[in-house]
Structure 1
Amino acid sequence: MQSSKAILYMIFSVIAFSLMNTVVKYLNDFSAYQIVFFRSIGTLFFTLPLLLKYKIPILGNHKKWLLLRGLAGVISLTCFFQSLNYLALGTAVSLRYTSPIFAAVLASVFLKEKIKPIQWLLFLIAFAGVLIIKGFGVNVNSIGLFFVLLSAVFLGLIFVLIRKIGNSEHPLVIINYFMVMAFVFGGIMSINYWKNPNIIEWLLLLSLGVFGYFGQLYLTKAFQSYETNIIAPLKYLEVVFMILIGAFWFGEAYNLWTLLGVFLIMFGLIYNVYLKRSKK
């Protein structure tokens, strides 16, 4: 079933992005621009050779939509990394994943995708779970809040643009546009903020692009395969994975509020998918 394949793609994407966020958390001494730069290098290492190997036209068929998707990606990624200078990682990650709500709104306006009132309720339940887990509302810096919400809006726009592009473009072409633009922007902007990495930091910085490549590849495949308002909310799972990684890697502890938040997120997501499948 097409929906099952799309959901599986998104789960793979979420795991990869969770690992990438973990590395970013560890490398918080580096500027957002330098992280964006290295994030792009590691991915371009995959995309450019593959495009050449399979003789895929690098410029694609719909340059306007591809450029818009790339621009939205650079803005979203940079704003998210910038927000980490003002917000706790948990709060920033939680707030950024309001993006499926923005995606659903934009998709209903521009793609005419229908959303039931109960689905809006489920989105809110899932979002409430995110807020409970990460403790939104305590010492939230207004500048950081601005950056992370702007990141979420543009991430939602990315979901819609990928759906708009559909299967008319190869996923590698879409990713490559984003990464080339991130490489140029991140490289130029990081000149005045450059910090020389040690060997371990070099490896970790380059790994950002590897995790990012697989995350982006499966994200693109997911949105090309099925409706935005079904696939986008699955991004909430990244918060759950971050909790697991945090517990086993950084020694973060669970509590009853965390368990309640996980339950609300899973309930909202699973029931939303059930509702859409029951219509088929």
Structure 2
Amino acid sequence: MNSSKAIFYMIFSVIAFALMNAVVKYLNDFSAYQIVFFRSIGTLLFTIPLILKHQIPILGNNKKWLLIRGVAGVISLTCFFQSLNYLTLGTAVSLRYTSPIFASIFAFFFLKEKIKPMQWLLFLVAFIGVLTIKGFGGNINSIGFILAILSAIFLGVIFVLIRKIGDSENPLVIINYFMVMAFVFGGVMSVNQWKSPNFIEWLLLLSLGVFGYVGQLYLTKAFQTHETNVIAPLKYLEVVFMIMIGAFWFGEIYNLWTLLGILLIMFSLIYNVYLKRKKVNI
């Protein structure tokens, strides 16, 4: 298994998702359903033409797992965007990307992937780092907290489902199922909450699908290439990228606690990858 290629795919994916989240923050006047709707449109403009061009069977081979993955994706995405109505973006993102912990636990029970005791400890360290970045000393809205955790749980389910599907499906088919379901759900639910975008907002809303497509494509490639418990923790990097974007784009200021959180996350990620690569080399 090519772990270096999988790690590159995952890092590229989280950069794209971080940019998407930054645009979502900028467009906070729109409902979560409308954002889900536009998020799907931009991606479908890529997936459908590519599937037709390469004559890929659009319904895939594993319809049951593709449908379940699509449902999990819609739930995770909608819960995350809704959580932004109650939480700051940094807090919501930090909570959502506890998902690698859930992914590793699900993979341990359902895919029988082995996890060393040290890796469990490192997952805990990374989780503590995520919490440290934004902290829970302030008033955290309970509804927003539950929505963000639900998003994380279903994102963890997605990681395992993609791994289970493996390379039996083209990544475009997996993404297309998710986006078609998001298109229908987001479109129906946003009818009564529709806000007409101006020209700039149209461009930004459609860019969500572009960033989402790139992020989803390379996320899928990463999980098809290597084990869940190696790749999933790299999702924590998105929190780090969000902090950087927040500082340079939105002028957010981060204290020493945030820097400590980044250090804990990076240490956990790097050491976890080192342990797995060492095992492979042996």
TM (norm. structure 2) is 0.98
> Residue 94 of structure 2 aligns with which residue?
94
Distance 1:235 1:125 in 2: 14
User: In the aligned structure 2, how far is the partner of 1:190 from the partner of 1:206?
Assistant: 16
1:113-132 matched pairs, under 5 angstroms: 113-132=113-132
Helix, strand or coil at the partner of 1:208: helix
Partner of 1:135: 135
**Structure 1 position 257, deviation (Å):** 1.3
Deviation (angstroms), 1:254? 3.0
Instruction: Tell me, in whole angstroms, the C-alpha distance in 2 between the residues paired with 1:218 and 1:50.
Output: 15
Q: What does the per-residue CA deviation read over 1:225-270, in whole Å, with 9 as the maximum and x for residues that have no partner?
A: 0000010000000000001111111111232112111110000000
Work out the percentage of aligned pairs sharing the same amino acid.
Answer: 82
Indicate conservation of the 8 Å contact 2:90/2:243, yes or no. Answer: no
Name the CA distance, whole Å, in 2 between partners of 1:93 and 1:191. 27
Q: CA deviation at 1:137?
A: 4.0
Q: How much has 1:4 moved relative to structure 2?
A: 0.4
- Counterpart of 1:164, as a letter, is K
DSSP 3-state at the match of 2:139: coil
2:226 alignment partner in structure 1: 226
Task: Check conservation: 2:72, 2:158, Cα contact below 8 A.
Answer: yes
Question: Which amino acid in the other structure matches residue 274 of structure 1?
Answer: Y
Deviation of 1:90 (Å): 1.1
| 1:122-150 Cα distance to aligned partner (Å, 9 max, x none) | 01111111111112342111111111111
Distance 1:24 1:237, change over 3 A: same
Letter in 2 for 1:128: I
Unaligned runs of 5+ in 1: none
Contact between 2:92 and 2:148, CA under 8 Å: does it hold in 1? yes
SS in 2 for 1:49: helix
Further displaced range: 99-108 or 246-255: 246-255
| 2:59 matches 1:59 | yes
Deviation, 1:61, is 0.3
Q: Which amino acid aligns with 2:54?
A: Y
Write the mapping of 1:1-280 to structure 2, written as runs, cut at 5 A: 2-280=2-280
Letter in 1 for 2:216: Q
Q: Return the offset for 1:218.
A: 0.1
Amino acid at match of 1:2: N
SS of structure 2 residue aligned to 1:138 = coil
Q: Distance in 1 between matches of 2:137 and 2:225?
A: 36
Give distance in 2, aligned partners of 1:137 and 1:230. Answer: 31
1:46 maps to a residue whose letter is F
How many corresponding residue pairs?
280
Structure 2 residue ranges without an equivalent (≥5): none
